[in-house]
Structures are given as structure tokens and as C-alpha cells.
Structure 1
Amino acid sequence: MDSLITAAALALASGDALGALKRVALRDDAPALALRGIAMAQLGDLVRAKALLKSAARAFGPREAVARARCVVAEAEIALVSRDLTWPVKALEAARKVLEAHGDRVNAAHAGNVAVRRLVLIGRLDEAEQALGRLDPTPLPPALRAAHELVASGIAVRRLKTEAARAAIDRARIAARQADIPALSAEVETAAHVLDAPAARVISRGDERPLLLGQVEALFSGGTLVVDACRHVVRDAGAVVPLASRPVLFALARTLAEAWPADVARGTLIARAFRGKHADESHRARLRVEIGRLRAALAGLAEVSATKRGFTLSPGRAGDIAVLAPLMEGPHGAVLAFLADGEAWSSSALSIALGASPRTVQRALDSLAGEGKVQAIGRGRARRWLSPPLSFFPTILLLPGPLPSD
């Protein structure tokens, strides 16, 4: 490796993208193209970065498998940051195996981190946790140790393990300080902010208030029957009843829980569960059937009792009832929740993350755009969606340096 490539790689490793570009901006050899691609990614020009990295991968010779694999890892991270979840995951795994086979354990671990981050993003937490457990962060340089701990924190947050998440954030802070990369430290602080920001709303006895993540965890472990509108389950400290596949039953449970300890009129239940404006005898008959199914589903957790004007919900083992609701609700609340992370999402990526059809997601985005709640940038396949105010792509990439070769 010549001195300019070495200097550019060291600059990238310290987060100095402009310093790296000064040394290789006019060069078109494969190592320089790869370093320019990483530098452009760190500066936020992800489209140009992807093009440069593809050119670099093609320019490396057949004997430079490690260099090509490193380019693939960099492309995968850019795809993740730009929310291109259709990027071929098998290519990343193949690159990781090449790096592992050639003894490049640092970049192999980085490839593993990228793969786990993708799994977390699309909600496959069991797979993410297992994959992260196979990665040993001890021999990694500080920047990659920080990346590893950020992933661990993200999993803990989604598992509602607040103490574990804070511990991982603290370890990430220490590693980021050792790496001395300002952008990395900023990413750690952004992740830490999640623990101190409202995560959901709780509705109980006619009162509604926001809850922090730790308070949500305490709510689940306390003596409260929780109708969880974030995951569409009913739970107490000892059991969980999933109702995501039974929307009518969940709508009835939530309506009864929001009114507790009062009862709910039959007409109100029909309107909420069946979306019927006028209750006729067929609606009342169907309501009786669904209430019976709800009683059976919640047996042991709660009782549903008939009153003169409707029905009421009573806790079983728990002493209180509460509804946990997302901060943002409505017909397209899930789409807004994903866009609230400040990143730019493609409609195909949202479709994968939500488990919904592309047409459904696109209709939701068009509706939200008409209401001014989301904005689109780019055209065609390059179109991305953001929540206003419009922001640029993030510049925080945890790409290891040097990437082209040692």
C-alpha cells in the first residue's frame, strides 16, 4: 500500500472523511475508489458512495478477494443506513465468510454487526440476539466495540430491558471516547436519548399520560392488567394473550379497558369493533358471540361481565387495568412510527419492516403526504420518505478503516 492510501485509510479510521478525500480524490485505482466511496458515505452522499464502491469491487483483481469482500460490507452498511432493505443479504454473509477465512476478523465482525442491525430493524429480535451472541467484541477496535454495544442496546430496548440497554450504552460511550470519532459519540448519545424520551402512552381511569421506556417496563412487571395496543396483546405479570390476529377481540378489550372501571354501552362496542354506525339486531347478536370469545381468550386474566347497558371488564389476578398505546395512532400510525427515527425510508423497505404489501404501504405514504405528514425526496427507485422537517441522510457510518487492504 502506498503512503497516500495509508494516510487516507488512517484518516477515515479517525472519522476525517475530508482529510481522506484530499489524498485520494483524483485517483481511480481500486483502493482509492474504495476509500473515496467510504469517505462520500461518511459525508452523506450515499448514492455516489455506492457507485464508487461498486467500481472499486470490480477494479480489484481476482486475487484480491478480501478487498472485494470489504467493499461488499461497506455497500451493505450504506444500504442499511439508506434503508434499502432489498439489498442482497446473502452477499453480505458470503463476504463475511471470505473475511473470516482470510483472518480479517475485524471486518468479519463488522459484517456480522451490519447483519444484526438489519435483523433488529425489521424486528427479527430472536435471530438478532443469537447472531450477536456469537460475536465476541473483546478483540475489536474501539469503533467496532461501540457499534457492537449499540446493537446490544437496540435489542435490549426492544425487549424492554432498560437496565441492560443503559449498561450497553455506557460501554458504547467508553468505546466511542477511545475511538475519538465525534460522529460515533453523537450516535451513541442519540441512542441514549431513546431511554429518556417518551416511548408510549398509558390510559387508565380516564387519565392519559406519556411513559418513558423504564416506566413501560415497570408497568408490565407490576400488578396491572395491560391491554397493549403497541403489540396487540393483553398481559399481566404472569401471562400474555396475543390478539394481533383477532382484531375484533382486541378492539373490544381495548374499549372496555379504556372505560374501566365503568361499563361500555353496547352501541359503543359495536361502533368500535364492527365500525357500524347503527346497531341492529344482527350487530347485537354478533357482539354477544364476540364477547363470549373474548371471555374465553382472557380466562384467568380478566372477566367480562354484562351490565344493563353493555359490558364491563374486571381484572383477575391484577388489581388495576391500563391501556398502553403508541405515541402516534391512526390508520397509518405504524408507518409514521418508522419514519419518526429521522432516517430516509424507501417504500419497499417500509413494506419489509411492516410486513405489509408494497401497495398498502404506498397508499399509506400517499395519504400521509397529502396531509403534509411525510415528504418524499428523489424519484423512481431513489425515492425516499421522511417525516418533516426534511433532513439529510445521516453521516454516521461505522465503517472500519483501512478498507481496501492492510
Structure 2
Amino acid sequence: MDSLITAAAHALAAGDPFGALNRVALRNDPPALALRGIAMAQLGDLDRAKLLLRQAARAFGPKEAVSRARCIVAEAEIALVSRDLGWPAKTLDAARATLERHGDRVNGAHARHLEARRLLLIGRLDEAERKLGELDPDLLPPALRTAHELAVAGIAMRRLRSKAARDALARAEQAARQAHIPALTAEVENTAQALNSPAARLIAAGRERSLLLDEVEALQASKALVVDACRHVVRDEQASIPLATRPVLFALARTLAEAWPGDVTRELLLARAFGARHADESHRARLRVEIGRLRSMLQAVAEISATRQGFALAPSRARDVLILARPVEEQHGAVLAFLADGEAWSSSALALALSASQRTVQRALDGLALAGKVQSVGRGRALRWMTTPVPGFTTTLLLPAPLPGG
């Protein structure tokens, strides 16, 4: 490996893409193409980066399998950052196996992190946690150790384990300082800010207040009857009843919980569950059927009784009834929640992350665009959606070891 390639690789590892480009910008040999691709990725020109990396991968000879695998790993990270979640995972897995087989354990570990981060984005937490568990963070260089701890913190936040998340962020902050890469430090700070932002709202007795993740975690262990509008579950300390696939029943349960210890009129229940403005006998008959179904499903945690005006909820064991709601509730709120990370998402990636059809997601995006809450960039297959323009681009597109060479 010549001195310019070595110097450019070291500049990239230190988070200095301009320093790398100053050394290899005019070269078109495979190692230089690969380094130029990584530099353009760090600068945010992802389309140009992908083109350069593919050119480099094709140009490497049959005896340079490791270099070609490193290009694939870099392209996989670009796909992750650009939210191309449909990028072939088997290709990345094959590249990881090649790197590990040839002794490049650091870049192999980097590939495992990309797999874990993709799994985390689409909500497959058990698989993501298993991928991370295969690695020893103490053996990783500071930049990759930072990424590792950020992934651990992300899983802990999704699992409502605030202490584990804060511990992981503390380790990530320490590793980022050792790496001396401003982008990594900024990413740790952004994650810490998210951890200290309202995670949900608590609604009880007609009043509401914001909750941090720590408080949401404490609520899960409380003895109250909780109607969880974040996960669409009704639970107390002994039982949990999922209603995610029963939106009408959950709407009835939440309405009854909001009125506890009072009752709810039939007219309000019809409006909240069915959107019926003018109820007729068919609506009332349907309400009786759905209340019967809800009564049967909640019998382990609560009773539903008829009153003169309508119906009332009474917890079986708990003394209080609480509602846990999202920080902001509006139509298509789940789509907005994913777009809030500041990245540009495709409708197919959102559909994968939300476990919904692409057509359903596209209708939601069209509605949000008409309301001025999201905007699109690009055209055709390159069309992406985001909430607001992002002036900077913070990314961890840093291969932890020099890209070219064997």
C-alpha cells in the first residue's frame, strides 16, 4: 500500500474526508476509488459515494476479496443511512464472513453492527441484541465501540430500560472522546437529548403531564390499571391484554378509562369507536356487541358494567386507572415518529419499519404532505420523505480500519 493511500485511510478513520480527498481525489485505481467513496459518504453525497464504491468493488481483482468485502460493508452503511432497509442483508452477511475468515475482525465487527442497526430500525430487537452479544466491545477501537454502545442504548430505550440506556450512553461518550471524531460526539449528544425528552404522556382523572423514559419505565411496574395507547395494551401488575389488532375495542377501552371512575354515554362511545355522529339502532346494536367482546377480553383485569347513561369501567385489582399516550397524538403519528430522526426515508423503508403495506404508508405520506408536515425530495425510485430540511449531515460512515489492501 503506497503512502498516499495509507495517509488517506488514516484521515478517513479520524473523520477528515477533505484530508483524504486531498490525497486521492485525482486517482482512479481501486484503493483510491474506495477511499473517495467513503469520503463522499462522510460528506453526505451518498449517490456519488455508492457509485465510487461499486466501481472500486468491480475493479478489485479476484485475489482481493477482502478489499471487495470492505466496499460492500461501506455500501451497506450508506444504504442504512439513506434508509434503504431493503438492501440485501445476505450480501452484507457474506461480506462479513469473508472479512472474518481473512482475519479482518474489526471490519467484520463493523458489518455485524450494521446488521444490528438495521434490525433495530425495523423493530426486531431480539435479533439485534443477539448480533451485538456476539461481540466483545472491549476489543473494538474507540469509533466502533461508540457505535456499539449507541446500538445497545437504542435497544435499551426501545425496551424501556432507562438505566441500561444511560449506562450505555456514558460508555459511548467516553469512547467518542477517545476517537476524537466530532460526528460521533454529536451523535452521542443527540441520543442523550432524545433520552431526556418526553417519551409519553400520562393521562389520569382528566389531567395529563409529560413523562420521561425513566417515568414510563416506573409506570410499567406500578400497580395501576394502565391503558397503554403507545403499544395498544391494557394491563395491570398480573395480566396484559394486547389489543393492537382490535382498534375498535381499544378505542372503547381508552374512552372508558378516560372517564373512570365515572361512566361514558353511549353517544360518546359510538363517536369515539365508530365515528358515528348520528347513532341509529344498528349503531347501538353494534356497540352492545363490541362492549360484550371487550368485557370478555378484559375480564382478567377489569369489569365493564352498564349504567343508565352508558357504560363504566372498574379495575379488578388496581386502585387507579391510568392512560399512557404518545407525546403527540395525531393521524399518521407513527410515520412522523420515524421521520423525526432527520433522515430521508423511502416509503418502502417506512412500510418495512411499520409492518404496513407500502400503499398504506404512501397514503399517509400524501396526507401529511398536503398538511405541510412532510416534504419529498428526489423522483422515482430515488424519492425520499423527510420532516424538515437537514442543514448538516451527522453520520458514522467511518470504516474502523483502512479500507483498501488485504
TM-score range, shorter chain: over 0.9
Match of 1:403 in 2: 403
Match of 2:304 in 1: 304
Match of 2:70 in 1: 70
Tell me which amino acid in the other structure corresponds to 2:191. A
Match of 1:329 in 2: 329
Partner SS state of residue 238, structure 2: coil
Match of 1:191 in 2: 191
CA distance in 2, matches of 1:187, 1:123: 20
Compute the displacement of 1:37 (Å): 0.7
Match of 1:41 in 2: 41
Contact 2:186 2:394 in 1 (8 A): no
Rate the CA distance shift 1:300–1:10 in 2: closer, same or farther, 3 A.
same
Tell me which amino acid in the other structure corresponds to 1:297. M
Match of 2:126 in 1: 126
Contact 1:224 1:237 in 2 (8 A): yes
Residue 218 of structure 1 pairs with residue 218 of structure 2? yes
Residue 170 of structure 1 pairs with residue 170 of structure 2? yes
Contact 1:12 1:401 in 2 (8 A): no
Match of 1:157 in 2: 157
CA distance in 2, matches of 1:168, 1:184: 14
Partner SS state of residue 324, structure 1: strand
Partner SS state of residue 199, structure 2: strand
Rate the CA distance shift 1:390–1:108 in 2: closer, same or farther, 3 A.
closer
Deviates more, 1:214-223 or 1:275-284: 275-284
Partner SS state of residue 137, structure 2: coil
CA distance in 2, matches of 1:364, 1:266: 31
Contact 1:85 1:352 in 2 (8 A): yes
Contact 2:264 2:309 in 1 (8 A): yes
Q: Which runs of 5+ in 1 are unaligned?
A: none
Rate the CA distance shift 1:398–1:210 in 2: closer, same or farther, 3 A.
farther
CA distance in 2, matches of 1:321, 1:281: 31
Partner SS state of residue 210, structure 1: strand
Compute the displacement of 1:397 (Å): 2.2
Deviates more, 1:133-142 or 1:164-173: 133-142
Match of 2:207 in 1: 207
CA distance in 2, matches of 1:237, 1:186: 39
Q: Which runs of 5+ in 2 are unaligned?
A: none
Contact 1:8 1:20 in 2 (8 A): yes
CA distance in 2, matches of 1:27, 1:299: 72
Tell me which amino acid in the other structure corresponds to 1:142. P
Partner SS state of residue 376, structure 1: strand
TM-score by length of 2: 0.97
Compute the displacement of 1:343 (Å): 1.1
Q: How does 1:3-402 map to 2 (within 5 A)?
A: 3-391=3-391, 393-402=393-402
Deviates more, 1:331-340 or 1:106-115: 331-340
CA distance in 2, matches of 1:295, 1:305: 9
Compute the displacement of 1:63 (Å): 0.6
CA distance in 2, matches of 1:162, 1:353: 23
Compute the displacement of 1:391 (Å): 4.3
CA distance in 2, matches of 1:121, 1:36: 28
Q: Output one character per residue of 1:43-90: Cα deviation in whole Å (capped at 9) or x when no partner.
A: 111111111111111111111000111110111111001101121111
Partner SS state of residue 198, structure 1: coil
CA distance in 2, matches of 1:47, 1:253: 48
Compute the displacement of 1:401 (Å): 3.0
Q: Output one character per residue of 1:337-371: Cα deviation in whole Å (capped at 9) or x when no partner.
A: 11111111111111111111111111111111111
Partner SS state of residue 138, structure 1: helix
Contact 1:224 1:318 in 2 (8 A): yes
Contact 1:149 1:172 in 2 (8 A): yes
Tell me which amino acid in the other structure corresponds to 1:129. E
Q: Output one character per residue of 1:263-314: Cα deviation in whole Å (capped at 9) or x when no partner.
A: 1101111111122222222222221221121122112211112111011112
Contact 1:184 1:398 in 2 (8 A): no
Contact 1:300 1:317 in 2 (8 A): no
Tell me which amino acid in the other structure corresponds to 1:265. T
CA distance in 2, matches of 1:362, 1:317: 43
CA distance in 1, matches of 2:161, 2:191: 14
Contact 1:204 1:322 in 2 (8 A): yes
Tell me which amino acid in the other structure corresponds to 1:89. A
Runs of 4+ in 1 over 3 A off after TM superposition: 389-396
CA distance in 2, matches of 1:237, 1:81: 40
Q: Alignment identity in percent?
A: 70
CA distance in 1, matches of 2:239, 2:61: 58
CA distance in 1, matches of 2:233, 2:391: 35
Compute the displacement of 1:106 (Å): 0.4
Q: CA RMSD in A?
A: 1.3
Rate the CA distance shift 1:296–1:398 in 2: closer, same or farther, 3 A.
farther
Contact 1:72 1:95 in 2 (8 A): yes
Contact 1:234 1:241 in 2 (8 A): yes
Q: Output one character per residue of 1:122-167: Cα deviation in whole Å (capped at 9) or x when no partner.
A: 0011111122111222211111111111100000000000000001
Compute the displacement of 1:330 (Å): 2.4
CA distance in 1, matches of 2:338, 2:88: 22
Contact 2:143 2:179 in 1 (8 A): yes
Q: Output one character per residue of 1:166-223: Cα deviation in whole Å (capped at 9) or x when no partner.
A: 0100111111111111111111111111110011112111112211111111111112
